[in-house]
Amino acid sequence: MFSRLILACLIVSIAAAIHFGDRHWALRNFPRIILVDTLPGGPSTHSIRDETEYGSALLPYPGEEISGFLGHDLESLPAASASAPLRIGYSYRELSLFGMPFWAYGDQGLVTYLETPIGYRAAVVTDRRRQLLERITGRSYADYALPLHRHVWGWLLVLGFVLWTFVRRWEEARWREKTGMI
């Protein structure tokens, strides 16, 4: 009885994660960016904005593919709006399955990025650029670490199946004891 309830909860949680989340149901190792800070506008950030806009990589938004743009010149892809804020983020890769994250690790590290209609335009932050960003914002980014706890909650699914297995065995043992089939 309890094992059926646990199994139903596990199935509903998988369906909800796939339907409502932005992760794919199949095993994926996908690049992502987490927001660290938003840069103020102004003349001090023009060179950083230009480097991010024109000398950068294009990363798809989570759950989307850019395969239709492969083979095209990145310069011909849609640019970010001039009003789009320039942001500092942390580039990482996330391993997910059934719409749930199981692990994440740093990819490019700190980046500046702009949001475009089809993905992020991201440029890696070098030591020189990091120092400039720290002067502009008044914050230190040297020791930024990826908040791993946000990217391992998929293991709760595994723990749920372990719990279901133990409860199922306990219920079977109780049933055998009750019916005398030991």
> Is the model's pLDDT at 67 over the cut of 60?
no
pLDDT band, residue 171 (cuts 50/70/90): very high
- Kindly report the backbone phi and psi dihedral angles of residue 3, in degrees, each rounded to the nearest multiple of 5, phi listed first: -65, -35
Give residue-wise pLDDT tens across range 118-152. Answer: 888 899 998 888 888 988 888 998 888 888 888 89
Instruction: Please give the C-alpha separations between residue 47 and each of 43, 53, 129, 139, 160, in angstroms, as whole numbers.
Output: 8, 10, 10, 19, 50
The pTM of the full predicted model, rounded to 2 decimals, is 0.75
Give residue-wise pLDDT tens across range 87-99. Answer: 999 999 999 998 8
pLDDT band, residue 64 (cuts 50/70/90): low
Q: CA 138, CA 72: separation in Å to the nearest integer? A: 39
% of the chain surpassing 70 pLDDT: 88
Report which of residues 67 and 63 the model is more confident about: 63
| The pLDDT of residue 88 | 92
Q: CA 87, CA 77: separation in Å to the nearest integer? A: 20
Q: CA 54, CA 38: separation in Å to the nearest integer? A: 19
3-state secondary structure of 24: coil
**In the chain, what are the domain boundaries?**
25-153
> Is the model's pLDDT at 78 over the cut of 60?
no
Q: Would you tell me how many other CB atoms lie within 10 Å of the CB of residue 52?
A: 25
| The pLDDT of residue 19 | 87
Q: Residue with structure tokens 């991201």? A: 122
Q: Can you name the residues that pair with 95 across neighbouring β-strands?
A: 29, 103
% of the chain surpassing 90 pLDDT: 26
Element counts in the chain: helices (H) and strands (E): 4, 5
Burial label, 169 (beta-carbon count in 10 A; 0-12, 13-18, 19+): exposed
